[in-house]
Amino acid sequence: MFSKYSDNPVSFPSTWKTEQSLAAGGTQTDELVREEGECQVVEQAEVGTQTEEEESKHYGHPNYDEASLSAFLKRVAPKVIRELERQNRSQAFHGYSVLKEEESTGVKLLHTLRWNQLHADGVVTCIDWSCTGSVIGVTYGSKCHDDWCDHKGAVAVWNINRSDFDANQPERVIEASSCVLSLAFHPTNPAFFAAGTFSGELLVYDLSRTEEVTPLATGECGGGTVTTLSWVDITVGEVTPSRTPNTIIATTSSGFILVWGLNLMKQQLLLKTGFVLQGQDVPRGIRTRMDDSSGVGITAASFNSEDSMLFVLGAEGGGLFLCSTSCEIPTGIEFAGVSLMRCVTSAFAPHSGRLVTAQCSPHHRNAILSAASDNQIRLYTLLQPNKPVSVIHSEESISCAQWSPSRPLVVAIGLVTGEVAMFDFGIKNRQPILILPAAEKPSPTTALQFNKRNMELVGVGDQLGRVTIWQLPNSAVSPLSTELTNLQTILNTLAD
């Protein structure tokens, strides 16, 4: 069935090991073609107009009777000339200025500022405006101190031009360890202000540092109350070339006048020099039982608008003094390692009550304003200090007074009735030209300050901690053309 069989082998070659062929290839995109074109639409229009040439009119020589015209002129000319000369001498419209119809003729209450966290005995002690006129600073303290101050004072700041302005919520409140009694904004930098306390601290703050609650620099004024503060562009004895004054002059209830220099780099207040108002400087007619070498309490101070080395001081006993920072007469008194000098060069005729205001005029070098608890508002001249050139008697007690920053003869007087009366030294009847009414709940006025940037605004503080901001009418702000001349005439009254 099976048998052996042998056949030739059959094979076939492998196909997967065949040699592979390689070839290089490439591709290229088409060349990019760029085109640039411009398009501009130009519109032109031309309009012309031409009036018809006007023919000159020729008037014939009129016929008139020369003899009749001459007779008429000779008859009426003397009467017309006489009336013109009479009108020229007339004082009927002297000082009259026409008001525009749209101008307001009455005062307007714009805002009533309140700090709701003020303690029950808190009063407004001082007001000042920033150099831009948009920020108002208000200091608070207590109305009575039996001994050492244990009240919490504060400085509240409002920006009345902000869109989120709230009269009942200050933009910034800075608290102090004792009552804050004096305040002064920097004359060129609206962020800087200096504050003085009852315990004698001098504090300088920078409002631009919104996160900081500590003062930029501090100084100690010897324990007496800091009654006034002034930024003055002087280095004692010479005028500085800088337009940004960094000199602060503080007066105290102990009679010190301390000159501080603010070092912004080191954030320090350095005492440069100092002066003292002594008992021997006070006129004998009002001198009480005091040591001649002891200090006399200073209640008011103001620097001359033209000569920053001259200033006036008001004292507690009614004394009013002309002083100079150029004095170099030693007193033998030292404070913080600095020898204090005398500063009084002459004394004005004193008041019979405590000085509440002593202020140099911002309009005239020689004019001085003073007001005291004897209810007198006086105008002095530096040329003859022994007698006032004009006196206004107030029926109500005076608490504060300020020169008008725009009208040379006008002063504003704060009264204990809560009203503010504005007087004009150029009016002989001595009646107020304008009265700002008291608030709904009257309270004695404690502080008064004009806005020097927006002169229509004035801030008034009272014993209830309120600050009312009034807008004055144009008639109370716009100076008359002859007002400065009339002030010069009044100042020359005694000299004649």
pLDDT value of position 4: 72
Taking a C-beta distance cutoff of 8 angstroms, is the pair 272, 255 a contact? no
390 DSSP β-pair partners: 379
Cα gap 260→236, rounded to integer Å? 10
Task: For Cα atoms 132, 134, 136, give the angle at the middle one, nearest 5 degrees.
Answer: 105
d(CA 309, CA 311): 7
Residue 489 contacts by C-beta under 8 Å, 6 or more apart in sequence? none
CATH at residue 401: 2.130.10.10
CA–CA distance, 230 with 240 (Å, rounded to integer):
16
49 assigned to some structural domain = no
329 domain-assigned: no
Give first-to-last CA distance, the chain, whole Å: 175
In a domain, 373, yes or no: yes
Residues found in the chain = 496
**Assigned domain for 420 exists:** yes
Domain hosting 396: range is 349-440+453-496
Cα radius of gyration (the chain): 40
pLDDT recorded at residue 57: 65
Longest dimension (CA), the chain: 186
Question: Three-state SS across 308-367?
Answer: CCEEEEEECCCCEEEEECCCCCEEEEEECCEEEECCEEEECCCCCCCEEEEEECCCCCCE
d(CA 200, CA 181): 10
3-state secondary structure labels for all residues of the chain: CCCCCCCCCCCCCCCCCCCCCCCCCCCCCCCCCCCCCCCCCCCCCCCCCCCCCCCCCCCCCCCCCHHHHHHHHHHHHHHHHHHHHHHHHCCCCCCCCCCCCCCCCCCEEEEEECCCCCCCCEEEEEEEECCCCCEEEEEEEECCCCCCCCCCEEEEEEECCCCCCCCCCCCEEEEECCCEEEEEECCCCCCEEEEEECCCEEEEEECCCCCCCCCCEEEECCCCCEEEEEEECEECCEECCCCCCCEEEEEECCCEEEEEEEECCCCEEEEEEEEECEHHHCCCCCCCCCCCCCECCEEEEEECCCCCCEEEEEECCCCEEEEECCCCCEEEEEECCEEEECCEEEECCCCCCCEEEEEECCCCCCEEEEEECCCEEEEEECCCCCCCCEEEECCCCEEEEEECCCCCCEEEEEECCCCEEEEECCCCCCCCCEEECCCCCCCCEEEEEECCCCCCEEEEEECCCCEEEEECCHHHHCCCCCHHHHHHHHHCCCCC
Let me know if residue 295 belongs to a domain. no
| Angstrom distance (rounded) from CA 132 to CA 129 | 8
349 vs 358: CA distance, rounded Å? 13
| pLDDT for the residue numbered 288 | 61
Handedness of CA 292, 293, 295, 300 (dihedral sign): positive
- The dihedrals phi and psi of 486, each to the nearest 5 degrees, come to -65, -35
- Read off φ and ψ for residue 369, nearest 5 degrees: -110, 140
CA distance 311 to 303: 4
Residue 80 φ then ψ, to 5°: -65, -45
Write down the residue that tokens 């014993």 correspond to. 463
C-alpha span between 345 and 359 (Å, rounded): 17
Can you give the pLDDT at residue 18?
Answer: 59
Instruction: Name residues of the chain where pLDDT drops below 50.
Output: 99-104, 235-242, 289
Predicted confidence (pLDDT) per residue in 318-330, tens digit: 899 999 988 888 8
Q: What is the pLDDT of residues 421-457, one digit of tens each?
A: 999 999 888 899 999 999 888 999 999 999 999 999 9
Provide the β-strand partners of residue 157: 137, 172
Tell me, what amino acid is at 480?
L
Please give the Cα distance from 65 to 67 (Å, whole number): 6
* Cα separation, 105 vs 170, whole angstroms: 31
Residue 383 lies in a domain: yes
Beta bridge partners of 368: 360, 380
Residue 244 lies in a domain: no
* CA gap 48, 87 in Å, rounded: 52
Tell me if 366 is assigned to some domain.
yes
Q: Tokens for 358?
A: 């002593």
How many structural domains compose the chain?
1
